Every structure is written in C-alpha cells, then in structure tokens.
C-alpha cells in the first residue's frame, strides 16, 4: 500500500508564491568536493571484539519520519552538509517559507523544469513543512539519486504538477538550522552525530521499518515458509482486510532464542485504520506481522508507549527497545517539527532520568528522506540499497562527546550493535540462526561498526535533561506552550489496497 497525506484544517496560502530561482547555477565551489558519479559498493566490514561493550545493557532505537540529513543537519559544522561556495553571513525573512541567507552562495542548484532555470537550497523555518508534495518511494529514490548526481529532487517531485506558481517540488530544497531544532542539535553536539547514516533500503516507510527489525524487505508467496520470500523495495502492507504476514526471520527471533528481553513501544497504541488521528499506522508497525513473533509467543512485547515510560521510571527497561511515534509526533510533514522534537526529548529525558541511563545507548534516526534534498550519494550494498541519507544520533554515557562519525551506517548498524552486545555476535544468517529464510546476504557484514562511536574507558557523560519545548526555537509560527500544536495527517489507502 502507498499512502497519501491530506492536510486537514490548514491553509497553505504561502505555497502560492514561487521561491526565487537562479537562472544560471552558481559556481560550484565546495560542491566539487562531493561525488557526482554513482557511489561504489562497500566491502565487508570486519568487526573486532570490543572490550566492555557489555557496559551497555539497554539499547533504545527511536525512529522518526521523513527527513534527509541535509534537511536537519546540512549546516552543522564539520559534517558533510549542503555544499556552500561561501558560508552564510546573516539571515533575512524569506518571502515564502522561513528565511534565506543574506550573502550566501550555494554550490548546488537543481534543475527545475516546471519553471525553468534551477532551484537553490533555502533556510526553512516553518514548523509545518508542506512535504505532501514530495515523492519518496522507490521510484523517487532512484530519480533523486540520478546515478549519483543527487539532482532529481525538484524535477521528480514536480511530476504531475502544472502550476508554475505553486511550491510543488521546491519544498525539497528547504533546510532547517540550529535555531529551529535546538534539542536535536544539542544531542549531536554533546554526543555522536552520524553524518553518513543512510536509509537501509532505497524506498519508503514500510520497507524501512521492515529493515529496522529484520535487515530485509521482501514479499513471500507463503505465509508460513521463510524460504518463499524474495527481496523487494515495495512490499505489501498489512491492512485490516489483508493482514499479509511477513514470513522471514526478524531480530526478535534471535533475542528470544538467547533469552534477551525486548519491547516494541507504540505511541498512543496501534491502528489498522487508514485514518491516523490516533495510534501508529501499520506501515510503521510491521513487527506484529512477522510470523515468528507469533510462533515464539512474543506478541505481548508489542505494547503501548505508556509501558516504556513506566519501565524507565522503575529502572526496568528491557535490553532492547524500539519506540515508534504516532503521526502527529513523528516529524512526518506536515506534522509540526516542534511537536516531533518534544516527543523525542520526552523519550530521551525519560531514559536520562532513569537509573538505567548509566548503561543505556539511544539510537535516534529517521526512517527515510521524505523527498528532501541531500547531497551525498549512497553506497550500493545490494539490490535494496542503501537509500538516501538520513540523520542519525547516538546518545549514551559512553558516546564520544561531540564526535562526528563519518562511516557508512544504517539501521542495519543498530541491529549489528545489538547482536554484538547481547548475542555474542550472532547474526540473522540463514546458515546459523536456526530459522533459515531466503535472504540473499548477511547485511551485518557490510554495515558500519558503531562500537567505534563509543569510548567505554571514558568517564560516563552525565544526563542532559532538556526542555521538551525550548523557548529558543525560531520556528514560524511560534509553537504553542508545550509544543502541542496539532496538524492532522490523514493516511488514505492508495494503489494496490
């Protein structure tokens, strides 16, 4: 199932004006440092035993929605961000959304066939991004990457657009700065930022969430035979009238076999409904659809987020946790960024205020790029990806403070860390995991080793409890007290459903 977003009760009048375009691209300057050819595949990553990795007794994977790395961290100092021919000096109000840089010279300008000329990046201070225009399925990923040129973001998202006065496609070039998302930047500054974190699969939310729990995205011809599955970037969704099971093996199988506790926590519960006013939609909540979760009697580990908060308060978090937001809390356009940041901060604060903080590692990332511009071509692992770059942050008392990790990583790296920490290096490998499926490779062999982002000999970093709704934000309009502004995302079934 594909889904379309319907903005309810919000008038996007600002979208009627076009963002100023450059007729001729600027001199590339710093852009010449960035790859313009298709990214090569990467070799197997050797994983050495890491002394003291078992100091981490709780891993929390927190997954937000639909942001590219450059959209949130494209101006982060020292990171592989937006190509600037010259850095911005001062900011001024942008005539459409947010602001533009006074005196900035960009090293990138993407073709805009709808209006002619090309479109440059612009600083976007909007709390609610109109990202419903941005395409972000497998076809969009291929078009955006464009053989490694990373120049298809505007033109592909203009598919089907006919009004040159609309902002269709141009929204892809907006980016946010530190004053928009100060807590996200604070976590990066005090802990570890992953600036080569890629979506595990070059596609949309469902395959990304499948990869996050199983290191694979597939379709199966049998509901019960793991060997009947084949790789696909476009798997079938589980909906109320067609609850298609996922027959291959996921990480919880190994966790259960090794007696490792786990929980999968849903913000405001789950929903099978196509209307997402409440609960986590199935495209972000695939774990109950895995047949092995039912076979080993672990379905009860999929719980409401209230259980996570209670366990954090009591100091009884499981070894492995996945935390999934409902749409309004998810950062998925047009949901409010302020509310998404508040949700993330509440989760991290709960861990930091827990007695479990001293032995925890939080892996924060976004499931896919959402159609937003990014300048780094992803490496090729197999037929599924990698996909376009997304933000990634590691938060732990043992994270290297202020460190930017440049190695190629993905959510595969999160599961690899879990396997090395709790499972003695056991892998989701059909030859060894006791429940063979037909996956074509052992993906852990190719992904980054995130143990290098930790220093288990350092003095543990203290907790950094932040206000969930920081007053320093420059978002427009100014968030309401508590950042509780609500924009309804209405997920409609579309396509093969």
How many other β-carbons are positioned within 10 Å of the β-carbon of residue 447?
A: 27
**Residues in the chain, overall count:** 497
State residue 41's pLDDT score: 60
Cis-peptide, bond into residue 477, ω within 30° of zero: yes
User: What is the radius of gyration, based on Cα positions, of the chain?
Assistant: 21
State residue 352's pLDDT score: 99
State residue 125's pLDDT score: 94
State residue 276's pLDDT score: 45
Encoded tokens for 159: 């598919």
State residue 242's pLDDT score: 65
The rounded distance, in Å, linking the Cα atoms of 437 and 220 is 10
State residue 5's pLDDT score: 37
State residue 36's pLDDT score: 33
State residue 12's pLDDT score: 33
Model confidence pLDDT, tens digit, residues 195-222: 999 999 999 999 999 999 999 999 999 9
192: Cα within 13 Å, side-chain hemisphere: 27
Cis-peptide, bond into residue 344, ω within 30° of zero: no
State residue 13's pLDDT score: 34
Of 39, 467, 497, residue with least CA distance to 237: 497
State residue 106's pLDDT score: 82
State residue 115's pLDDT score: 87
Of 57, 79, 165, 70, residue with least CA distance to 108: 70
The rounded distance, in Å, linking the Cα atoms of 77 and 355 is 33
State residue 51's pLDDT score: 82
Overall pTM surpassing 0.85 (yes/no): yes
Give bridge partners of residue 290 from the DSSP assignment: 246
Which residues in the chain come in under a pLDDT of 70?
1-48, 86-104, 131-133, 239-243, 271-278, 486, 488-497
Of 283, 289, 111, 321, residue with least CA distance to 203: 283
How many other β-carbons are positioned within 10 Å of the β-carbon of residue 419?
A: 22
Model confidence pLDDT, tens digit, residues 220-275: 999 899 999 999 999 988 766 666 789 999 999 999 999 999 999 999 887 654 44
State residue 42's pLDDT score: 60
Q: Which helix (H) or strand (E) holds 212?
A: helix 205-214
Of 356, 343, 376, residue with least CA distance to 313: 356
In order of start, what are the domains of the chain with their CATH numbers?
A: 54-72+179-453 (3.40.720)
How many other β-carbons are positioned within 10 Å of the β-carbon of residue 32?
A: 11
């Amino acid at each position: 199932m594909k889904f379309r977003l319907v903005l309810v009760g919000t008038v996007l009048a600002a979208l009627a004006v076009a963002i100023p375009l450059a007729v001729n691209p600027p001199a590339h300057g710093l852009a010449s440092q960035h790859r313009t050819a298709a990214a090569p595949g990467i070799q197997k990553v050797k994983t050495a035993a890491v002394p003291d990795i078992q100091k981490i007794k709780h891993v929390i994977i927190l997954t937000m929605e639909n942001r590219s790395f450059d959209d949130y961290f494209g101006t982060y100092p020292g990171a592989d961000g937006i190509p600037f021919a010259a850095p911005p000096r001062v900011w001024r109000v942008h005539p459409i959304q947010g602001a533009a840089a006074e005196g900035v010279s960009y090293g990138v300008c993407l073709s805009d066939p709808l209006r002619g000329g090309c479109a440059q990046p612009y600083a976007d201070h909007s709390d609610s991004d109109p990202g419903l225009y941005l395409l972000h399925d497998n076809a969009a990923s291929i078009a955006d990457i464009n053989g490694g040129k990373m120049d298809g973001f505007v033109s592909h998202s203009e598919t089907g657009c006919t009004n040159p006065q609309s902002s269709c496609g141009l929204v892809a070039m907006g980016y946010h700065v530190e004053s928009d998302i100060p807590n996200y930047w604070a976590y990066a500054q005090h802990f570890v930022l992953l600036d080569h974190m890629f979506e595990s699969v070059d596609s949309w939310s469902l395959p990304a969430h499948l990869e996050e729990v199983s290191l694979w995205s597939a379709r199966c011809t049998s509901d019960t035979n793991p060997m009947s599955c084949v790789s696909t970037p476009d798997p079938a969704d589980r909906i109320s009238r067609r609850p298609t099971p996922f027959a291959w093996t996921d990480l919880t199988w190994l966790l259960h076999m090794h007696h490792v506790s786990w929980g999968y926590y849903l913000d405001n519960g789950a929903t099978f409904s196509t209307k997402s006013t409440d609960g986590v939609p199935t495209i972000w909540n695939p774990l109950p659809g895995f047949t092995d979760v039912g076979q080993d009697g672990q379905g009860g580990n999929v719980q409401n987020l209230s259980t996570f908060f209670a366990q954090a308060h009591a100091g009884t978090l499981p070894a492995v946790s996945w935390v999934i937001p409902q749409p309004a809390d998810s950062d998925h356009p047009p949901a409010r960024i302020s509310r998404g940041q508040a949700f993330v901060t509440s989760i991290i604060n709960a861990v930091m205020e827990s007695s479990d903080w001293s032995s925890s590692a939080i892996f924060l990332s976004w499931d896919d790029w959402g159609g937003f511009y990014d300048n780094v071509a992803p490496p090729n692992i197999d037929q599924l990806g990698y996909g376009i770059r997304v933000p990634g942050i590691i938060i732990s008392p043992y994270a290297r403070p202020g460190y930017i990790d440049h190695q190629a990583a993905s959510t595969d790296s999160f599961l690899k860390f879990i396997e090395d920490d709790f499972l003695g290096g056991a892998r989701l490998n059909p030859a060894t995991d006791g429940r063979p499926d037909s996956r074509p490779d052992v993906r852990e062999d190719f992904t980054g080793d995130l143990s290098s982002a930790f220093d288990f000999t350092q003095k543990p970093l203290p907790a950094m409890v932040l206000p969930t709704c920081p007053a320093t934000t420059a978002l427009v309009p100014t968030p309401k007290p508590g950042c509780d502004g609500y924009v309804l995302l209405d997920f409609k079934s579309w396509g093969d459903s």
